[in-house]
Structure 1
């Protein structure tokens, strides 16, 4: 068994297609098929169930896949560490980003990172703050940009507060509050709301603010991703509270929406989070580009 065979197994497991797996590994399909079949003979088990139309992992394949990924990650880290010792940063960097990130211009950051470390391959993953923080803790992500309610910090990871922001209310342009002076949560508690999925940090920011004020509101529409919220509001389905720095440019570009300041609205803190256990050279390099290393983490 060798690392290349493991890479073939991982590629086939993720694509579920021999042709796409071979393209990803930059080999001909027959070679990939032959090497995987040889590995199955060596192990004495079938890793994949195959038909003319489908490829799926067997139970043995599922068990093998997790260990194979760990072995490949360890091998990649060994190569990256050896290169870093010689003054060259290479390898892979997995970055998690919430869609509403506003404290850092992610494309600009990656452009600067690429200019300094062109041998690092970057994988971006979008998701919720709780999901991304968990991925950093397990090592599935190297670093992540998160947003949490004020007073909460990412658990089990190193973190740095990047920015503090207050939510604003977004309403349809024809709404009675469009163009109004700043309002309070009590004045808008009876509105119908569009918000994020219950149980997520993005939703908790507004839920906690209303609960602290002793207020109850009606959330009629739950959206799993931020891009959907302004569209629902623009069509008159409800109003929404969203982070100011993220939503202001969106509203400025859409005449169907209006912003209303909220005096006692929810507050959000954007965090940078990374593994507290032996971060990779590529991770340390990104922290350098951000100017994080050596800064206080309060």
Structure 2
């Protein structure tokens, strides 16, 4: 059994197509098919059920995949560790970023990292804080930026605080509260809200703040991007609560300080158990929030220069 054969099996399983898997692996389809058939013959099992239109793993194939992936990751880690021993950082870095990240300039951070370590393959993933924390704990992600309520650090991962922000109310410029300097949370209780999906960390801090104040609110719209949330607010359909750095300067929007409003903490999270050389190099390039000397830290949506 060869590592290349395992790579082909994983590619076919993920692409659900021999053609797309061959393109992904930069090999002709006949060669990929031949190698998988040879592996099936060696193992004495059929790894894929095939038809002219459909490919999917058999029960034997599904059982084979987790250890195949683990073997490929172990082989890659061996290469990366040996390179790191002589000062070269290689391998892969998988970074998760929430939609409302404000504490890091992601593009500038990745650009600087790539220039410092060009042999590292960078993968960027979008999603939610809860799924990122699970992915790090399971070894499927190296580092992530999380946004969580002020209820304690994330569990199961190593972390450090990047930023702490109190949410502001965001309303349309035509709303009755537009232009106010400060309001109470109770002033928003009768409004229709747009927020992230129920149960997600992006929404939890607002739910907790209303619950702690003994107030109820109506979340009429749910969205998974800050852009759509702000578009709905701009149309005067709803109001929302967001970190101030997420809200652009826009004549159609107005932000108002909220007494007793929710607080969100952005964390940089990673695996505390044997992080890869690429992950350690990336973490080493992120300066702590109190250090104002680098390009990485953002304050109120702007990068802080040297």
TM-score by length of 1: 0.94
Cα-Cα RMSD: 1.3
Structure 1 partner of 2:199: 199
Of the three residues 244, 251, 256, the one matched with 1:255 is 251
**Structure 2 residue 305 is the aligned partner of structure 1 residue 283:** no
Q: Superposed, which structure 2 residues align to 1:1-298 within 5 Å?
A: 1-247=1-247, 249=248, 252=249, 254-291=250-287
Q: Which runs of at least 4 in structure 1 moved beyond 6 Å after TM superposition?
A: none
1:197-228 C-alpha deviation (Å, 9 max, x unpaired):
11111111100111111111111112233332
Distance 2:152 2:121 in 1: 32
Distance 1:210 1:72 in 2: 47
Point out where structure 2 has 5 or more consecutive residues left out of the alignment: 292-306
- Measured after TM superposition, the shift of residue 121 of structure 1 is 0.1
Distance 2:36 2:252 in 1: 55
Distance 1:164 1:76 in 2: 36
- Measured after TM superposition, the shift of residue 22 of structure 1 is 0.9
Secondary structure in 2 aligned to 1:227? Answer: helix
- Measured after TM superposition, the shift of residue 38 of structure 1 is 1.1
Distance 2:17 2:265 in 1: 42
- Measured after TM superposition, the shift of residue 162 of structure 1 is 0.6
1:71-126 C-alpha deviation (Å, 9 max, x unpaired):
10011001100111111100001111101011000100000001110000011111
